[in-house]
Amino acid sequence: MTISWVQAAILGLFACLCSNSCMAGQAVGNYTIGRPLVGGLICGIVLGNVPLGIAAGVAMQLVYIALVTPGGTVSADVRAISYIGIPLAMVAITAQGLNPMSGSAANLAKSVGTLVGTVGTVLYYAVATMNLVWQSFGWKDVHNGKLDKLTAVNFGWPWISHALFSFIPTMLLTYYGSTAVTALRNALPMDGVAMKTLFTVGGMLPCVGIAILLRQIINTPLDFVPFLVGFTLAASLHLNLVSVTVISLLFAVIFYEVEMARGSNNGTPSVADGPDDDDEEDI
């Protein structure tokens, strides 16, 4: 599988639309087009192999299931994961001759995709920094009372930041990266230590994604109990996720009733502002 300039340019355009400071709206861009699952579908269509794209996207989605960016700090940026990582993973899987649906193909996708994840962070900061230029235009316009120009500051100029730091890097990295990934096939034998480690790491990477998510939703040690209940239901009883969700809804209803009843009994109408408001820190 190779990636042509046209295909690389289309991937670059999608990278512009879905970055964290995105040009297609946060809900549509970052949260939809940017999710690796959706990115896998789009990369599959662009590169002409939808099942392979989806398989790579599913694998990558697990690593990045938690893309929480508290306070604008970013641990990973979706443009690089979805539109550089997935295409290169697809090329790598094809080059190694793996069955796209196999677990080893998924583990390779996770490793290759995550390697470029840090590139996204660099691009994110580059775009955000360059936007300061357009914002300085904006402050001048507000100061001089030219309010209509604010629309261009917010919707027009940032395209230049993205052309420089989303479009061009994505286009170059996917075009030249695919050649490099194909060439690697001969350099690294599959049963060597390097490839064995790469596949093993690929299998473990989703644990990091889940752990990031746990950091977000677990506030007291007791919160681990529902997590382990969900795990046991799926691992030991082999329930699918819809069934796990239904069972969890039952517990949610019970907890809601208990909490509401507890509040009315001791008669203190304490305004229970969450202690979990915006710190996702320690227990």
Q: Which of the residues 139 through 178 are near other proteins (CB under 8 A)?
A: 139, 142, 145, 147, 150-151, 153-155, 157-158
User: What is the Cα–Cα distance from 277 to 67, expressed in whole angstroms?
Assistant: 18
Q: What amino acid is encoded at 128 in this protein?
A: A
Task: Kindly state whether residue 1 participates in binding other proteins, applying the rule CB under 8 A.
Answer: no
List binders of other proteins among 238-267 (CB under 8 A): 239-242, 244-245, 247-249, 251-253, 255-256, 259-260, 263
Residue 95 touching other proteins (CB under 8 A) = no
Say how far apart CA 45 and CA 122 lie, in whole Å: 27
CB-based contact 202:111 (threshold 8 Å): yes
For 211, the 3-state DSSP assignment is helix
Non-local CB neighbours of 138 within 8 Å, separated by 6+ positions: 149, 150, 153, 154
Question: Of the candidates 106, 72, 101, which has an alpha carbon nearest to the alpha carbon of residue 89?
Answer: 106
- Contacting residue, 1, 95, 184, 227, with other proteins by CB under 8 A: 227
CB of 201 to other proteins, least distance (A): 5
Distance CA 30, CA 19 (A): 6
Considering only residues 53 to 92 of the shown chain, the ones binding other proteins according to CB under 8 A are 54-55, 57-58, 61-62, 65-72, 75-76
Q: Taking contact as CB under 8 A, which single stretch among the options 3-11, 23-31, 79-87, 171-179 is the one that binds other proteins? A: 23-31
Answer for which of 95, 164, 184, 190 binds other proteins (CB under 8 A) is: 190
26 binds other proteins (CB under 8 A): yes
Of the two residues 55 and 175, which places its CB atom closer to other proteins in the complex? 55
User: Shortest distance, CB of residue 5 to other proteins, whole angstroms?
Assistant: 26
87, 178 contact by CB (below 8 A) = yes
Question: Look-up: residue for tokens 């660099």?
Answer: 122
Q: Do residues 225 and 251 touch, judged by C-beta distance below 8 A?
A: no
> Shortest Cβ distance from residue 94 to other proteins (Å)?
14
Rule CB under 8 A: say whether 183 interacts with other proteins.
no
Q: Which is nearer to other proteins, 147 or 187 (CB)?
A: 147
| Closer CB to other proteins, 61 or 174, in the complex | 61
Identify the residue among 9, 128, 164, 184 touching other proteins (CB under 8 A): 128
DSSP annotation string for 108-154: HHHHHHHHTHHHHHHHHHHHHHHHHHHHHHHHHHHHHT-TTHHHHHH
The label of the residue with tokens 């190694």 reads 96
99 binds other proteins (CB under 8 A): no
211 binds other proteins (CB under 8 A): yes
Using CB under 8 A as the binding rule, whether residue 179 contacts other proteins is answered as no
